[in-house]
Structure 1
Amino acid sequence: MAHINILDPGASPLDYYGYELRRHREAAGLTQRQLGDVINYTGSLVGQIETARKLPTEVFSERVDAALGTGGLLSRLVGLVLRSQLPAWFQQVAELEARATEIATFQTHMVHGLLQTDAYARAVLGAMDRRKLDDRTTVRLARQRILEKEQPPVLWVILGETALRQEIGGPEAMWGQLARLLSFEDAPLVNVQVLPFSAGAHAGLQGSFNHYRFASDPAIVYTEGYGTGHPTANPDTVKDCSLRYDHLQAAALSIKDSAALIRRTMEEHYGESQLSSDGRPLA
């Protein structure tokens, strides 16, 4: 008889997910292979997720919920599972993102994680360490679920022009990333502005930062270093960064002009043939 690894559901969100997956599968009278056949995954993958050796994805969870009639249990759990896999120092930030009613971010040289594509995120995360890159990419992209909530936060993004021109992941990855930025051009809750090189000296020269606002809690400012994060609710710091953000928005291009600059950058650097006659990315 094959050895069955029995998980402790209280050990971690990932263990709890695997425990519930196995419990519902066995209640349905299915083997791992049979469930895999139903949801178009391998039985081996089902087994790896049941034993907490592989991270589940949102699509996997949705398919299992449908196949086993779990009432959406695994789809509700997967967000918690993926958030628990973030670096310990970043988990608090993911919680801030999930609770915020408004997020304002200034990024000097890189697209913010909430707007990254798979290829771009993979290139960023794999720059120094390619271990478990699939799982780490899945975890990063899972943060973007907050933009699909019934009441998503308002997201303001100011990108330094460097973020458009620093070729991360190659031309194809950059084209896809800039196309994603353009996809929000008419989305009132996601606003993208570019701070052009021509702005010269500006209020964000000290570096990138995020500003989180909440329905009833004090605002929080977050800055980041190498492998460390620094959230603070200090009123003086929050006030200073709020003022800096106002100045950055004033110096940045309008949303419309920012989109035009993104299109020009795509044409000039990453593939003119992939734009339609009106300058919009082709599907």
Structure 2
Amino acid sequence: MATVQTAKKMMLGREIEHMLSEAGKTPSELAAILSTSRSRVQQILDGKASLSIGDLERLANQLGFTDPGYHETLFELRKDSHKRGYWNTGYRRAYSEELRVRVDIESHADRIREWEVEIPPGLTQPPRFVRALYAGVPESSGLTLEDRIEARTARQAIFDKPNPPVAHFVMSESCLRRVWRDEETKIDLLKHMIALSQRENIFMQVLPFDQPVGRRVAIGNRFTLLRLPTAGVAGPLELAYTEGPEEFRYLDDKKALDAYDSAWTRLTSAALGFEETRRFLRAMIAESGETSH
């Protein structure tokens, strides 16, 4: 049976990994406790496989975590952990399996940091820009252009929920200069970004073409850093998301996270400040003879 990765499974996997570490046990010993294979244990830790309530309680007890209150926290993480919403109807069919995981994680995250090189972050794209981006893409399985537009923009609903995530976007000037369809579409994007940047939980920085950068500034590879809070004792789940041709990866090991965090620090230091970025966006609009609000 195909495994389904979800945000809540990933958070529970982190909690189990923490219990293992505190108890001085290995994944192989966890496999013995659960009478299962080493490969299934790795799926559990990666958030791709589920545990029954009985197995979860037995595991916690055998690892020395016997507090009933903590058990309730584990059970709450497990509750509905297999669900990510309904993906086979309407616009949601436009989400690939990899993007379904990303959307699910975004809905649980309290902090999102994203660096983009060529195309503006999906969470910042207005409908008109999305329409231009997907124009010419043939319909498949009844999936229309309107479905694709709604799927892309529906992700941005996380900014309107109670306690929305703090989002910080840094992007190359190329994301803004590239013309999709027409100049009016670009202007609409720039105005939308200015509006977003004025929200108290959204921060934007642009790295201009003429801004000097050091050799150690990782300007070539796009990546996203996500943090998911949890009520457990392991602390928040932190992930680095990278994407390439037919490759989507979520990294949570400390060495990789430290490397991406360092890259993020260098990028934010090299990019324009928040108010400078708004002035830059307004100047781009003025270049086209438009005015910003």
Task: Please classify the TM superposition score into its range, dividing by the shorter chain length.
Answer: 0.5 to 0.7
In structure 2, what is the Cα distance between the partners aligned to 1:85 and 1:197?
Answer: 34
| Number of residue pairs the alignment of both structures matches | 197
| 1:123-182 per-position Cα deviation (integer Å, ceiling 9, x unaligned) | 22336x232211111111110111111111000000101111111221111100000001
In structure 1, what is the Cα distance between the partners aligned to 2:124 and 2:224?
Answer: 14
The letter of the residue matching 2:259 is: D
The letter of the residue matching 1:204 is: A
Asked if 1 retains the 8 angstrom alpha-carbon contact of 2:129 and 2:189, the reply is: yes
Q: Using CA pairs below 8 Å that are at least 6 residues apart, which structure has the higher relative contact order?
A: 2
Which residue of 2 is the match for residue 39 of structure 1? Answer: none
1:114-193 alignment to 2 at 5 Å?
A: 114-126=123-135, 129-131=137-139, 132-193=144-205
Structure 1 residues 83 and 153: CA distance shift in structure 2, 3 A: farther
| 1:181-216 per-position Cα deviation (integer Å, ceiling 9, x unaligned) | 011232120111101112344522331110001213
The letter of the residue matching 2:159 is: L
Asked if 1 retains the 8 angstrom alpha-carbon contact of 2:111 and 2:227, the reply is: yes
In structure 2, what is the Cα distance between the partners aligned to 1:192 and 1:159?
Answer: 8
1:99 aligns with 2:111: no
Structure 1 residues 139 and 149: CA distance shift in structure 2, 3 A: same
1:246 aligns with 2:265: yes
In structure 2, what is the Cα distance between the partners aligned to 1:248 and 1:124?
Answer: 26
The letter of the residue matching 2:102 is: V
Is there any run of 5+ residues in structure 2 with no aligned partner, and where? 1-84, 231-235
1:223-238 alignment to 2 at 5 Å?
A: 223-238=242-257
In structure 2, what is the Cα distance between the partners aligned to 1:159 and 1:117?
Answer: 16
RMSD: 2.0
Of 78-87 and 197-206, the range deviating more from structure 2: 78-87
Asked if 1 retains the 8 angstrom alpha-carbon contact of 2:111 and 2:167, the reply is: yes
**SS class of match (2:196):** coil
The letter of the residue matching 1:102 is: R
- Give the alignment's TM-score, normalised by structure 2: 0.63
Match of 1:210 among 217, 224, 227: 224
The letter of the residue matching 1:130 is: P
Is there any run of 5+ residues in structure 1 with no aligned partner, and where? 1-76
- Give the alignment's TM-score, normalised by structure 1: 0.65
Which residue of 2 is the match for residue 44 of structure 1? Answer: none
Q: Could you tell me how far 1:225 is from its partner in structure 2?
A: 1.7
Asked if 2 retains the 8 angstrom alpha-carbon contact of 1:212 and 1:220, the reply is: yes
Q: Could you tell me how far 1:219 is from its partner in structure 2?
A: 0.5
Identical residues among aligned pairs (%): 22
Q: Could you tell me how far 1:78 is from its partner in structure 2?
A: 8.1
1:3-82 alignment to 2 at 5 Å?
A: 82=91
Structure 1 residues 84 and 100: CA distance shift in structure 2, 3 A: farther
Structure 1 residues 149 and 249: CA distance shift in structure 2, 3 A: same
The letter of the residue matching 2:261 is: S
In structure 2, what is the Cα distance between the partners aligned to 1:136 and 1:185?
Answer: 25
**SS class of match (1:143):** helix
In structure 2, what is the Cα distance between the partners aligned to 1:102 and 1:147?
Answer: 11
| 1:79-123 per-position Cα deviation (integer Å, ceiling 9, x unaligned) | 996545411121111111111100000011211111101111122
The letter of the residue matching 1:159 is: M
